[in-house]
Structure formats: C-alpha cells, structure tokens
Structure 1
Amino acid sequence: MKFPFLILLLVFFSCETKTKRDASKTTKTENSAQTKTIIERRKFFVGDVNNDKINDTAFISLKRNSETDEIECKEKNCLINVTFSKNIPEISFDQSLGIVVMKTEDLNNDKANEIIIFSRTNEGWWNNIYVWTFKNGNWKEIARTKGFISENKDFENRIIKEKKHFYLIGENQWKEDKNGEFEKTKVRI
C-alpha cells in the first residue's frame, strides 16, 4: 500500500503548473556576474492619437535590477522612452522608475484622443502625472501634477469635466485634509 501512495505523491509533486502571462507585460532575465537584470517590455493601447482612424500602441522597454528594483542607466543617461506605432515620435522621461500609459478622451476637440502618462518617482508611491496631445506631428504636454498611486484604482478618474473645462486631478503630498487624506489638486487642461 505504501508503494502506490509514494508513486501518487511523486506524480502530484512533479506536475508543472503554468500560469497565464499578461500579454501587455513581458520580462526577460539576464544573469551577470554582479546583478540580475530584468528586461521589462510593456505595450499600451492608446486609441487614435494622430487622427488617422487607426488605433495606436505605445511601447516601453527598460532594464531593471531585480534586487534593487532600480532602472539601469547607460552612462548617466536614465531616460525612459515611450515609443509608438507608425511614424509617431517618442516621448522621453528622465528619472522614472516605471511608466504607465493610458488613453483618455479628446480633451481639445481635435478629433483625436489624448494620453495620460504616469511616471513613478523615487518618492515611494508618488507618480508624476502628465497629459499629452499629439498635434502637427509633435507631442505637447498640456497638464502635469503629482498623484499618490498605491493600487490600480488610483489610476482611474484622473480627468474630470466641470463647466465646459477639463481638469487633471492629483494630490498635494505636503497637505492633508481633515480626514488625513492627501489634499486633492486640480490642474486645468
């Protein structure tokens, strides 16, 4: 009786469990003598930013030290480039620990949607939040603030409309309201 039980345990513990990978985020690990580097590649569907009636995609690729979670820089150059499909120019960010790019609605009535970019800072859970528009073949930043991002839901509802105007919502890291929450800020777009 012990032998079939041992065989059953051997089969059970030797089975490989596979998990489904997120298609928008892939990583590759490189081993070196000193550190372990993870190459992080992500793609973001950002709608039609250039008004050609075809949806566009944004891409980031960065090398991250898996032990310290820091971005590895090339000779004092710590730029992270957000590249796009087709002939859309890239956007570069300095001193970022990670980037999330999201589609937002058409905020300036040019018949193309804008994008919102969250760039993680080295200040804990704080992100620089940018709104960009693509006009005349170039990117233009139209709003910027800071936001406290600790969960996925914190990326949502960052743009609101009040009395015909759009506002980018952030938080003031130096002021708290009466409930102990970071005070909300509004930047007109």
Structure 2
Amino acid sequence: MIYETLVCITEEINSSFKRKLQTNEEKAILSGIVNQDGSVAIQGENKIIVTLLNVEKDTIGKSTAGTPVGVTTPNTAPAVNINLYVLFSAYFSSNNYPEALRFLSFVVAHFQSKNVFTRANTPAMDARIGKLIFEMESLGADKLNNIWTTLGAKYMPSVVYKVRMLTFDDSIIREYRPVVTGTEGSVGPA
C-alpha cells in the first residue's frame, strides 16, 4: 500500500499542475533522488520529485476494523498503522530556480486546500486505503541538513509532509509479479 499511496499522491500533484498550469507534461515523478552508486536517479530536470523518507508506526491510531492496535483476535495478527514521511523536492536547473520555487509553492498550496484524501474526493485512491491526512512538517536546519546528508544529495528546495495513516494486515498481500527483463534474443516456447 505504500507504493499505491505514493503513486496516487504523485498523480494527484500532476493533475493539479495540469489543471492550473495548462501543461501536459508530467512534472511530478515518484523517485529516489540518488542511486546507490551516488549517481543522480532522475532523468531530466525541472521536476518535482516525490520521495519516501521514512515509515513510522503509529501507536495512537486504531485499526480500520474497530479493533484497537495491539489487540488480537484468534488466528490473526493485529493490524499495524503506519505514517509516511514524504519529501517533495524541486529538481530544477540552476538557471530555473524561480520556477523551482513556484512549483514547490503549488505543492504546498495543493495540500493546504486538500489535506484529507478519501475515496470520495480522490477516486483514483486504492480501495484498501481509508483516508490519508497530510500534515506539513517543520524541520529545523539541523534536521534538514541530516536528511540531505543521509540522502547523499545536494540541497534542493523542498517540503516534507507526514501522511497519516495506512493500516496494514495480511489482506494487503495480493500477488507478486516480478519485473520481466532481458527479453532480447529470447525464443518462444518450443
């Protein structure tokens, strides 16, 4: 459900950009910032990068089934509620810094006007997600420095949101489909 949530958020931001800016280009992308080898993970420039920073267990919330977190029923493990910390970074060329700030402002304005996502106001949201609540995180200079150092990237204009709350239980596991790679030169069945 983490993937589905982040894809939904990215699509929502792109839809907002398309409506307000009359653009057909996908300006928001779901991506890490730096690859494991230290190279830049983003193809192209002038994008808002949506990156998962952290997953945190929510010990205050209750499961969607009405059973408090930590309470088990026979033959089932308790549901786990989690919060996501999502970084929205403006990856724009150096001569396009004003546009980076403009697009970052659009992201903040979007979540200011729509900070609760439900199936009623976001039809593309996965049916297993009940509700998402967005809260802007205020980070001091030391935390901000730690984030960018940990990511292994140079600072970009950015904002962090805490996204409450996904409930996990064994019903989220559907099917694993590995990515098909290396199909060149393959032959069909004999």
Normalising by structure 1, we get a TM-score of: 0.27
Where relative contact order (Cα < 8 A, 6+ residues apart) is larger, the structure is 2
Greater gyration radius: 1
- Structure with bigger strand share is 1
